[in-house]
Amino acid sequence: MPALEGSVENIVFRNEDNHYTVARFRPKDSGRLFRDDLTTLVGIMPGIRTGELLTVEGEWENDPRYGKQLRVTSFTQRLPASTEGIIRYLSSGLIKGIGPKKASLIVEHFGEQTLAIIEQQPERLREVKGIGAKDCNQIIKAWAEQSEIKELHLFLQSHDVSINVATRIYKQYGKESIKVIRANPYQLAQEVHGIGFRTADEIAVKLGLPPDSLPRLASGLKYVLTQAANEEGHCFLREADLMQRASEALKASPEILPHALDILRSEQDIFVEPPEAAATATLDDEWAAEEDSAEPTNLQARIYYGPFWYAESGSARLLRSLLNSPSSLPPAPQKLWDTVFVLLKQKRNMHLTEKQRAAVQMAYNNKVCILTGGPGTGKSTSIRALLMLLRNRKVDVALAAPTGRAAKRLAEATGVQAQTLHRLLEYAPHDNSYQRNEDRPLSHQFVIVDEFSMVDILLFYHLLKALPREAHLLLVGDADQLPSVGPGNVLHDLLAGEAIPTVRLTELFRQAQQSKIIVNAHRINAGAMPSTKIEANSDFFFMAEEDPMRAQQLILDLVQRRLPARYHFNPLTDIQVLAPMYKGPIGVTMLNECLQERLNPRAFAQVELGDHILRVGDKVMQTRNNYDKGVFNGDIGWIRSISRENATAKVEFVEETGSTFVSYDFNELDELTLAYAVTVHKSQGSEYPAIVLPLVLQHRMLLQRNLLYTAITRAKRFCVLVGQPQALEIAVRNARIAQRNTALAERLLAWSKGSAQTLV
């Protein structure tokens, strides 16, 4: 068909991931009074903006729902020429700082020459009444950036890279962006959020990089190792497994991969460790490990990506050093302990059990120890008793947890200020480093870390590096919960390593026995079915529903109407829906869409992000660690404002120190996702007044005892399970735990040789 010329009236829909766009288009010379004059364009159209002039080619089709539309096969862009088009173009969000009002002022002054003047004589913007020097400078800077970004967009259009990601590339490399991409596109996968190996690989292939080139093969090997860490929690892969995965990912013969592996080893990007070396290898033995594994012939050799090898072997080394170093605490004879426990009982009304007393003494008398146990077993009481003794003896103590929510809970439980581990270790986002380390250790004599099951091997390593050798470390957590989202299985490995004194609390206190949530959590943990008998004033319910769609409607009704009416829960702040997985009618994705429509159907401001919408008032979750903003994967907040003129949204997060407001540019909003429903994994470390958990056979792959146990123990006052009784039974009976490739336990066993004291 002949080319069709016209202007973009508005963008109806855009998927930023694949650039599929639905736009309303006004063909040249058509009328401007009626919407019927507009044509619907559909297809892959990266970067088009409201007000732009387009020349499009495509095929007409009749959609049964939307009618006649043009499926675009190719298009070219031109800047608008009319004053009306220029106003819409400038106010479309393309240039931060220019909204509809300022755009109109500028165009009224310069007319059809506006864009040429901004491009060639931007200083003349000061002639416009209402445009100050600050506005002028912002517009000049934004126009220059957008011109460069536009060039980058055009360069990346054929490589299926989204506009948002192109903007991030520009932020990372500036004017050098295209040069960097041409030199080594795989650099993007390591340094730019939103670009993975596959996207970088597609760009590289289109740029003509040979499929068997060493940069491609080496990047592919690192990609497979990092994917295994991020998605499965592995610290290493067996050599045969790595080669198979890399061969599939690269579509390359396994025979060409060993040379790339050798290059990475020589550059110490990866480490190859025979299984028998794991028992003795530490950071002290770095070069020896390299020499020992120079010619690995055993297909069971362990292949580590560098950061995980340093973290795992370094943690073993530092733990050994910490355990073998003298304590700075004054000695505490048994007579003192007898007096302490009597005073706690008389003056604080704290009746400690024998195990709780053992836990307090263990923490004081040992450099590193673990306190574990389920909900209602007295972990918080034990910590409070220990803190009273430490303060009485003028011991400098710090309390920390992996997340702001967990730190806030710890502070509430103990009455002592607590902070995140990142804040304790003084994380510096500008250079992605921790200011507290071996060269500048913490000043505290005693550090207590709660919710330790959430701590991955990388964070644990940085904590150990920052601890003074004379300090004490108490790790508190529930060993039966899900492991950390990040790589490693640290709490499990420390317990299995038998090198660290441990107390496991098992006795349920009387108050806890009155909670069906806690009682049923312990029943499930022991492999017994929870009591589903309906009782008055119970805090635990199972609502049977065989049909997933009816279960979905039941969940929506519970959150929106039933629980608020009966128990006075706020549906936005008190009730959290948890789900085992993302897919399906009662998966996280669909539940979020439905709950948003029920709880926040309209707002005075919203922004479209591909196939979903974010509105003022929405409950959202941060999906990756953003150290520049100080927000982390799993943090939950609320959108408080959206400014189209500034192309920003402001989100309120509640941290251990109170509320903080974080600003996001529109091109950063893909870091946020709706959080009316979240996965059980993402809920770790949190506690909610009420939780609603769907359980259906569609979730079979993730119906596991530790996942169900973790979900139920997130509920503080009320828990309701919705779904199929058979799914509940499968989850309770399935004690299988996904195995993670870690060797920390072996490294600890190698030198502990039964020296640890386990108190039972």
Which residues define the annotated binding site? 376-380
Dist. CA 6–CA 199, nearest whole Å: 32
312 close to 488: Cβ distance less than 8 angstroms: yes
Beta strand 575-579 pairing with 677-679:
parallel
Residue whose pair of structure tokens reads 């700075």 in the numeric block: 328
| Angle ∠(119,122,128) on CA atoms, nearest 5 | 125
Q: Which phi and psi angles does 704 have, rounded to 5°? A: -130, 150
Element (H, E) at 162: none
Distances (CA, A) of 164 to 66, 157, 661, 665: 28, 12, 22, 10
Q: At what angle do helices 744-752 and 306-324 cross, to 10 degrees?
A: 30
Comparing CA positions, the residue from 409, 403, 589 lying closest to residue 486 is: 403
Query: Where is the binding site for ATP, in residues?
Result: 376-380
Kindly state the DSSP code that residue 558 receives in the 8-state scheme.
Answer: I
For 133, left (φ over 0), alpha (ψ -120 to 50), or beta? alpha
Chain centre to alpha carbon of residue 362: 35
Q: At what angle do helices 705-712 and 725-733 cross, to 10 degrees?
A: 110
Residue whose pair of structure tokens reads 């009319």 in the numeric block: 82
Dist. CA 366–CA 500, nearest whole Å: 9
599 close to 450: Cβ distance less than 8 angstroms: no
651 close to 664: Cβ distance less than 8 angstroms: yes
Dist. CA 260–CA 215, nearest whole Å: 8
3-state secondary structure 697-741: HHHHHHCCHHHHHHHHCCEEEEEEEEECHHHHHHHHHCCCCCCCC
**Two structure tokens written together for 577:** 């829906």
Burial grade of 291 (CB within 10 A; 0-12, 13-18, 19 or more): exposed
6 close to 599: Cβ distance less than 8 angstroms: no
